[in-house]
Each structure stands twice: as structure tokens, then as C-alpha cells.
Structure 1
Amino acid sequence: MKTKILVANRGEIAIRIIRAIQELNCEAVAVYETPDRDSSHIRTADEAVWIGHGPRCDYLNIDKVIAAAQKSGAAAIHPGYGFLAENADFARACEKAGIIFIGPPSDVIDNLGNKVTARRIMAEAGIPMVPGTQNLKAGNEGLQEAVEFGRKYGYPIMLKATAGGGGRGIRKIEQEKDLKDHYAMARAEANAAFGDDSVYLEKAVVRPKHIEVQIIADKKGSTIHLGTRDCSIQRRNQKLVEIAPAFQLTPEQQEAISQTAVKAAKAAGYFNAGTVEFLYDSDGKFYFMEINTRLQVEHTVSEMITGIDIVRTQIKLALGKDLSIRQEDVQLRGHAVEMRINAEDPKNNFMPEGGKTVHVYRSPGGYGIRLDGFCYQGFTIPQVYDSLLVKMTVFGWSWNETVDRLRRSLNNFVISGPKTTIPFYLNLINDPDFQAGKFDTSFLETHEYLFDYEEDSSEVNKLAKLIAEIHCKGGNAYAA
């Protein structure tokens, strides 16, 4: 009998994981809420289990997901990213139910999910870190601690939720007079988002690069890295563009930050795939930020430059295999860029376009193009989930080749109906600073002219819009 693995997620990442499961000659079980009844991840799986009307609450319901696994006879659960992926209680529930959790143990998730505990572990291991505090005390005592920290280290400072993640629960404080209001609001937001109002402070690194390292470890402690990624181009502390390897780092800097990531993972007792994230300043110094205890959205770029299937490796390790890849086996080649094609209006603060129907969908292809998505022609975008439609990852042997292939691919990508990030990306890749690799976390703030573009900038998209208008009026048009 084939091993069954349940995927506790939806959309493109569910499909990505399902494909890896099926390649390993296992059976993939999908779960879904009512708003996702037309999602293609259900049709890709070998079977699907309805877990409730939702929206979102059933994907987050540990008991329902465990029950779905037991009902289907699944021996393991892959959480993907988001939802329950970094939830230690979910990992514990899997362990208690005798179901393999494809990820690190619950105690590791606990330790690394608490940012203050993670900082302590890293400090003891000698990992470089930005100056910061322990959890601030409640009420005025905590506020006074914050005031003293700001006066000691200077502004700006970062106020962060201890249980935060995914870019949430972060506030940048520019001056002391703003601290009181932000402190109270940050605690309230942290409690609402994570059920924990604990916050702490870090000295802000001004205009850093956001560099991360993909690591993989087995249960015996063998740990390797798959090189770096540059995830500096962000909106609202969430990534839009991811590049591997990280741009403008010397080979010596690449090696130093990658080996530090391996050291950090070992200090945490890490198992399975994870990501060690750093801030990298203009002086070439890097500082530990956090370890993400799950598969990252941007894992595709690391796969493209190494040829290593991270999800397949995750599953094999969780099912008891040892890591068969040695560090000397990992060869980094070329450049890869992932762009998140979101149903959003970049001109309107990236407002999601949920509820709209995709009238025409035509994707690019050819050498070096990878698409991870679940969108199709006629698909109505649910209003209640993330706005990601498809991740486009492009590979080139040189940076210039990669940018040229990005331009061609974006010009050939047709999604008519909702507004998307495609025209914004076309502007971005033609920017001289982007082409030179000169970007940091303030890139969008300092390049506001990138939002000045024509909605349908390519001839292909203009034609697609015309086809969609005819189609909506009852014509017999189709996408070429």
C-alpha cells in the first residue's frame, strides 16, 4: 500500500507539494474549505477532504486537519507555508496522533518562533546580532525600558512582536515622541494577530539588504546550505522579488554568511528544511534576524541554481532517510529570480483584487522558465485568501541573461480581469538600479516612479483586454 501524505495548505504551494509526493510514489491528500471548492489543488491531489465552510478558520483548525489525516489514512502531513506551518501546537498534535510532521520538532518551532528565545540561542552560539532587548515588561515599565533603549542606541529602532512572522508585527520608530503610541498599538496588534502581546526592541539597521540562506538538516545533525537569496525588494515588510544567489556579495561574504547559517541551525538543533535570515548593512556586516521553520515561498530560486528538490528532500528526511547530499555536492550556478504574480493593484498600495474573474490566462514558457501556480482561465479569485496567483521563476547563466528572460516572460504573460503586479515588474526590471543589483529594503520607497506605468503596457496585454471585452459581451473569442 502506498504511503499517504496530507497537504495542510491550498493554492500553488499545495500543488507544488502534491507533485513531489506523487513523484515519490506516495498518494497526496488535499484539504479544502468551501471557498476553495474550485481550486486546482483539489484536482491535482489523489483525493481531497472537505474540512468546513471557512473561510480560513478551518485551514487553521488543528483538530479538523488531524481528523482529515486520520480519516484518509495519511501517515504524514506537510504544512507548506502560512496557516499552521510554524505552529508548534500543530506539530505537537501531529506527534501526539502518531502522524509524521514534515518539518522540525515542536520544541524547535517553539524556541525559534519566540524571537527573544531565538536571539538568546544565537547569542550563546556567537552568531552576530543587532543590539536588542528581552521581552519588554507590561505597561509603563515596558515603555520606560523602550525609552531607555532608544536613548542608548539611538533612532530609528524596531518594535517587534515576539511571536511575529511573515512581516507582521513590526513597527519602525523614528523618534522618541512616537514611541508611546506605537508601543500601545504594537501590543494590541500582537495580541490580535498571535494571541501574545509580548514585544521586544532591536536597533534598526538603516537601508539593509535582506539576505537569507536555505539550510537542510537530517536527524543525525548533518546540515548543509544551498547558498544565499536576496529578498530585499518588499512591500509592507513582505517580499515581492527573490534572487539567488544574493547580489553584490563577494565569494568570501557568500561563504561567511552561509557557514554562519549552518552554525545557527546546529545551535538550534534544527531538522528538515529551514531558512536563516540576516540583515546585511552597507559596511558588509551581517546580523541574524530569525530562522523560518518551514518551506519558504521563494525556495524555487534555490532549487533553480542548485538543481536540488527541496520539497522532495523534506519528505524523504521526515520519512526517516538520512541526508544524502554533502556540502561539496552543492554547486551554485547562474542566477534565478522569482516574481510573485499577485492579483493586486500596485498603484493602490498593492490592494488585493479578490472577487474578480480571470477572463484570459496565457503563461510564458521556454528555456529557464518555471511557473508554480493554480490560476486558470475562468477562475474567480477568492476574496478571503492570499492574493498570489502564480510564482514565476526565471533562470539565466548570467545576470543580464536572466533580466532579458524576465522581460520577455513578463511581456508574454497575459492575465486579464484582475489587476496584477505584472506591469509594475516590467517597470522594475528596466530600472538601472535593479539591473545593477543596487537594491535594499527601502527600494520601493526610494523608487516611487516605478508606480508610474501604463496598465496594459504590452501589445499582448492590450490584445488580451480586447479579447476579454468581446468574451464578456457574449462573443466567441478565445486566447491564442
Structure 2
Amino acid sequence: ARHVEVQVLADGHGGVVHLSHRDCTLQRRYQKLIEEAPAPNLPGNLGAEILDAATRLIGSLDYEGAATCEFLVDAERATYGFLEINARLQVEHPVSEAITGIDVVREQLRIAGGERLSFGQDDVVPRGHAIEARINAERPESDFMPTPGLLEEWAAPIGSDVRVDTACFPGWTIAPYYDSLLAKVVATGADRTQAITRLRHALRHLHVRGVATTARFAHDVLGHSDVVEGRIHTRWLEDVFLEDWTPMEVA
């Protein structure tokens, strides 16, 4: 199955709007590693049905704020099932922002202040494609063992089509007590192929010294033919990719 989700915002004044869908199928042990928007290769009207289901669900709950409705999708049978609602802002929200131009955090603050959403559903016009890679302080070749320690050097890639969300800086000590996420690297493109190419280029230009990261792993995953052609499922990383992958340090 694939993991497809919908970003929804509800303002408490009857405004309930979705920001298209995302695909979060590339996971390890059911933890998301690479996310993209919109979800590619959804057959027929399945994408529209999922968007409608998510919007109606949140609208029925008297909900206020940002929420993500998550679904498991069987693309071959063109069916889907409800998984859960995450009643918060999620790590992967930047890909939804990238294709819609809508600042989700800004809208959350408006809602918290009792205001209406600043846009309606007709104003949401997804453009292009966006892909995000989570960069963790982990060593993939050692079963993703965390690598806390001193971040001796850190230089994020830059570009008009690249966004990096991070708090990293040279001299920061990464503690072993918390989540190992260092950064989110997001690339946009006119289409999925261009977005993948730009993200792989950005990952090659992420410079890290002092700790091992998952940058090369993400770079290589994005270059695999199954990913490029959309032949993946939630167990694909473990069942297919990691069986044959030969790691090389890129950062």
C-alpha cells in the first residue's frame, strides 16, 4: 500500500480547506523519510475522492487549526482506507506550502486569534511538484544508528528552488536524548522529474562534518528507478532498496 495524506485547515467559522495531497510512502519502520506533493500516479478520480473525504471528515468534527488526514491507498485497486488524523502541524508541511504558496503556520496563527482563513478552496491552485528529504544524524549502513556529537561543519545548499528548514550551525553538539532530525531539504520543480533532480543536486551540496547523516541514503533512494517510476510501497525501503544498497558518504 501507499501512504497518502491531506493537509487541511479549519477556522471555526465554517471554513474548511485542503491544500492538496501528499505522498509519504517512502518510510523505514513506518517512519517517514521522504515526502512529496502532490501525490503522484493516483488513478482516475481517487485523488479527488481522498481530498473530499478528508475535507468532509474535518468539517464534521467542529475542528479548528491544521490537521492531516492520513490514508492507506491501494493504487492497483483504486481503493483507500482511513488511517488516522494528526491534529497538529507535521514535519512534511513544507511540500504543501511549496505547491500552493500558502503559509500554513501563518494560517494557524490567524485561526488561533479567532480570524477566518485568508483564502478559500477556489484559491488553492497547486502548481508544480515538491519533494522533501529528512536529514537525520544517523548512520544508514549501521542499521541507522544515531550519531550524536559535535557538528564541526555545516553548510546547507542554497537556491531559488531549494528550501532548508534547520537549526544547525557549526559548533552545535547534537545530544543523544532527542529526535535525530537535523534538517528538512525541500526542492520544487515544474514537474516531479525536475523536483527529484533538484533535490538530489541539493543533497550533494549539503556539507556536514563531525556526524554521519542520511543525505547520501536519501540521494540514492531518489535515484532508484522504482522511485522515479512510482513503483513503491510502505515496505519498499526495507524489502527492496536496503537489500542491495551500497552506502557511500556524501555528507
Q: Does residue 411 of structure 1 match 2:199?
A: no
1:353 shift after superposition? 1.0
1:367 shift after superposition? 2.1
Q: Does residue 302 of structure 1 match 2:101?
A: no
Q: Does residue 334 of structure 1 match 2:154?
A: no
The gaps in structure 2 that reach 5 residues or longer are none
TM-score by length of 2: 0.96
- Alignment RMSD, CA only? 1.3
User: 3-state SS of the aligned residue for 1:453?
Assistant: coil
Q: Aligned letter for 2:72?
A: L
Equivalents in 2 of 1:248, 1:311: separation in Å?
Answer: 28
User: 3-state SS of the aligned residue for 2:108?
Assistant: helix
1:385 shift after superposition? 0.8
- Equivalent residues of 2:12, 2:62 under 8 A apart: no
- Equivalent residues of 1:424, 1:450 under 8 A apart: no
1:279/1:306 Cα in 2 relative to 1: closer, same or farther (>3 Å)?
A: same
Equivalents in 2 of 1:412, 1:384: separation in Å?
Answer: 28
Equivalents in 1 of 2:137, 2:159: separation in Å?
Answer: 24
Q: How does 1:44-443 map to 2 (within 5 A)?
A: 208-250=1-43, 252-281=45-74, 282-354=76-148, 356-443=149-236
Q: Aligned letter for 1:336?
A: A
Structure with max Cα Rg: 1
Equivalents in 2 of 1:400, 1:220: separation in Å?
Answer: 39
Equivalents in 2 of 1:300, 1:396: separation in Å?
Answer: 14
The gaps in structure 1 that reach 5 residues or longer are 1-207, 462-480
Equivalents in 2 of 1:260, 1:253: separation in Å?
Answer: 10
Equivalents in 1 of 2:119, 2:35: separation in Å?
Answer: 24
Higher normalized helix content (fraction of residues): 1
- Equivalent residues of 2:28, 2:235 under 8 A apart: no
Write out per-residue CA displacement over residues 415-447 of structure 1, whole angstroms, 9 at most, x where no aligned residue.
111110011112111111111122210111222
Q: Aligned letter for 1:352?
A: P
Q: Give the ranges of 4+ consecutive aligned residues of structure 1 lying more than 4 Å apart after TM superposition.
A: none
Equivalents in 2 of 1:240, 1:313: separation in Å?
Answer: 26
Q: Which residue pairs with 1:88 in the alignment?
A: none
Equivalents in 1 of 2:160, 2:231: separation in Å?
Answer: 27
Q: Which residue pairs with 1:65 in the alignment?
A: none
Write out per-residue CA displacement over residues 20-76 of structure 1, whole angstroms, 9 at most, x where no aligned residue.
xxxxxxxxxxxxxxxxxxxxxxxxxxxxxxxxxxxxxxxxxxxxxxxxxxxxxxxxx
- The alignment of Structure 1 onto Structure 2 pairs a total of residues equal to 249
Q: Aligned letter for 2:192?
A: W
Q: Aligned letter for 1:258?
A: L
1:352 shift after superposition? 1.1
Percent pairwise identity: 41
1:450 shift after superposition? 5.5
- Equivalent residues of 2:153, 2:171 under 8 A apart: yes
- Equivalent residues of 2:33, 2:133 under 8 A apart: yes
Higher normalized strand content (fraction of residues): 2
1:232 shift after superposition? 0.7
Equivalents in 1 of 2:22, 2:35: separation in Å?
Answer: 7
Equivalents in 2 of 1:329, 1:290: separation in Å?
Answer: 27
User: 3-state SS of the aligned residue for 2:174?
Assistant: coil
Q: Aligned letter for 1:213?
A: V
Equivalents in 1 of 2:244, 2:230: separation in Å?
Answer: 16
Q: Aligned letter for 2:210?
A: G
1:323 shift after superposition? 1.7
Equivalents in 2 of 1:305, 1:240: separation in Å?
Answer: 19
- Equivalent residues of 1:370, 1:392 under 8 A apart: yes
Equivalents in 2 of 1:345, 1:324: separation in Å?
Answer: 43
Q: Which residue pairs with 1:468 in the alignment?
A: none
- Equivalent residues of 1:234, 1:241 under 8 A apart: yes
Equivalents in 2 of 1:364, 1:387: separation in Å?
Answer: 20
Write out per-residue CA displacement over residues 104-160 of structure 1, whole angstroms, 9 at most, x where no aligned residue.
xxxxxxxxxxxxxxxxxxxxxxxxxxxxxxxxxxxxxxxxxxxxxxxxxxxxxxxxx
Q: Aligned letter for 2:113?
A: L
Q: Aligned letter for 2:105?
A: V
- Equivalent residues of 1:341, 1:391 under 8 A apart: yes
Q: Which residue pairs with 1:447 in the alignment?
A: 241
User: 3-state SS of the aligned residue for 1:243?
Assistant: strand
